[in-house]
Each structure stands twice: as C-alpha cells, then as structure tokens.
Amino acid sequence: MKIAIIGATGHAGSAIFKEALKRGHEVTGYVRHPDKSVGILPPDADLIQQDAFTLTREQLTGYDAVIDAFATTVEQAYLHIDLADHLIHELRNTDKPRVIFILGAGSLKNGDHTLYDTLKKDPHAAAFINTPLNQFRELQLLRWTDNVNWLGISPSANFQPGPATAYVRGKDELLKDDSGKSVLNSDTLAVALLDELENPTIKQARFTARNA
C-alpha cells in the first residue's frame, strides 16, 4: 500500500511508520520539522516538509491510506478538530484513501461514563484536559461524516512508548486486563493498525486496543 503519515516523527506516527516499512509498504511522512526525524526514523525515510493544512485532494487521493497522527500542544488542541475537518473536506465523496485518525482514549466508554468524565475530575486536569476534550470532539466530527472512508483508533488509558506485544482489540469500551490495567504500547498500536489496514474489518468506525 501507499501510505502517508501526518506527524510521522511523533510517538504514534513514528511507530506506525516503522511497522509499515517493515511490512513492505511504501511510506511517506508529512512533517513540519524533518530534523526531528534524526534517530527516530530511518535516515532514508521518505519525508515531505509540508503543513498538513495545505494537503490537497489531489495529493491525498494518491495514497491508499492517510494516517493523521498529528500531535500538538494542550493550548492548541483545537487543531485536532481543524485538521480532521480539513482532511474530511478535501476527501468528501471519496472511498480512497482510507483516512485513519489516531484519537485519544478519553472518548472510550468506561462503565456508565467515558474516560474523559473521569479525567476531567483529576486535580491537575487544567494542565491537560484540552487534549482529550478536543480529540473527543474530533471523533464526534468523524461520526457526522458518512461520505469519507474514515477509521479511528483509540489507545488504552496509558499509551506509552514500548515494543510490540500481542493485543486485545475492542470497539468503544476502554479495555483493561485482569488486574484493571489499561495499557497500550506505541509499537502495539502500530501492529493493530497495520493489521486492520491490511485486512479491513470495519468502516467509518473507531476501534481500540490494549497490550495482551
């Protein structure tokens, strides 16, 4: 597959980039700061320095999959909404590429509530809540969208750097292991996502995963 990754030098983006390369896909990273790739991506990684908000329909439709792994500051978390809508707008009434949005875990159901409802009660919520809030809104925007081939993936409550493990896959519920831990490694997310890309099982929906 021809795969484009927005935010290819980030936590999730770089893990997906390497997993996709390993599986023999043709991967292009769209990055704001190519120098950030040193030590993170292979020296010969195909990187294009371009603001993702300038990506055009013509560029995007040249790929089989476009992965939005954009990351930003807490203060600018509204950019998650804006970039999602830019990509959606450019791709209205297309079926290719499949567009994948790396969401937060906050929108996952956790019993009667969402993880976001729990997070916002954290005494330090002011320092970070804007990010899960806007990623929740981003998912809402996706759910309004029925004419773009989108896919969302949410990690578990703890999304951490780490090697690929076996994984358990879920839909809209926060996943926990028998001891109540909800953890997903970045390389495990990459494996779960590439598995879904190579063998699509859902469309216009979000899934989640945890380390098994």
Q: What tokens were used for 142?
A: 């996706």
Does residue 163 have a cis peptide bond before it, meaning omega lies within 30 degrees of 0?
A: no
Residue 20 half-sphere exposure toward CB, CA atoms < 13 A: 29
| CA geometry: angle 85, 153, 26, nearest 5 deg | 85
Residue 21 interacts with its own copies (CB under 8 A): yes or no = no
CB 209 within 8 A of CB 155: yes
State the nearest-atom distance from the C-beta of 89 to its own copies, in Å: 4
CA distance readout (Å), 140 to 84, 101, 212: 11, 12, 28
**Using CB under 8 A as the criterion, what x/- string covers residues 141-160 for binding its own copies?**
x--xx-x-------------
Residue 59 interacts with its own copies (CB under 8 A): yes or no = no
Contacts of residue 78, Cβ cutoff 8 Å, sequence gap at least 6: 130, 134
Q: Which stretch binds its own copies (CB under 8 A): 62-70, 87-95, 115-123, 150-158?
A: 87-95
**Using CB under 8 A as the criterion, what x/- string covers residues 170-189 for binding its own copies?**
--------------------
Residues of span 91-120 touching its own copies by CB under 8 A: 92
Is 53 or 128 the residue whose CB approaches its own copies more closely?
Answer: 53
Is 40 or 60 the residue whose CB approaches its own copies more closely?
Answer: 60
Is 88 or 197 the residue whose CB approaches its own copies more closely?
Answer: 88
**Can you give the C-alpha Rg of the chain in angstroms?**
16
The site for its own copies (CB under 8 A) is made up of 53, 78, 81-82, 85-86, 88-89, 92, 134, 137, 140-141, 144-145, 147
